[in-house]
Amino acid sequence: MLAGAFAGYNAAAAEAGDATLAPWIGPLIAAALGIGGLFLYFRRHAGWFRALSPRQRRYWTALGLSAVVGGIIGGWLVLDQPTGRSAADLFSSGVLSPGFAIGASLLWVAGLAVGMVLYHRAIDDHEERAWLWAGLAGWYAFVFPAPVWWVLHRAALAPPVSVMALFLLTMLVNAAVYLWFKFR
Considering the domain boundaries, does residue 129 fall inside one?
yes
Within a 10 A sphere around the Cβ of 65, how many other Cβ atoms? 15
Considering the domain boundaries, does residue 71 fall inside one?
no
Above 80 in pLDDT, residue 44?
yes
The count of domains in the chain is 1
Average pLDDT along the chain: 87
Considering the domain boundaries, does residue 152 fall inside one?
yes
pLDDT value at position 113? 93
How far from 125 is each of 121, 135, 150, 174, 180, CA to CA, in Å?
11, 15, 38, 18, 15
Considering the domain boundaries, does residue 48 fall inside one?
no
Assign 123 to helix, strand or coil: coil
Considering the domain boundaries, does residue 4 fall inside one?
no
pLDDT value at position 87? 67
Query: What predicted TM-score, i.e. pTM, was given to this entire model?
Result: 0.63
Considering the domain boundaries, does residue 51 fall inside one?
no
Whole-angstrom distance, CA of residue 129 vs CA of residue 106: 29
For 96-151, what is each residue's pLDDT tens digit?
Answer: 888 989 999 999 999 999 998 998 888 888 989 999 999 999 999 999 999 999 99
144: containing domain = 125-184
Whole-angstrom distance, CA of residue 127 vs CA of residue 182: 6
Where residue 176 falls among pLDDT bands split at 50, 70, 90?
Answer: very high
pLDDT value at position 3? 67
More confident residue, 157 or 52: 157
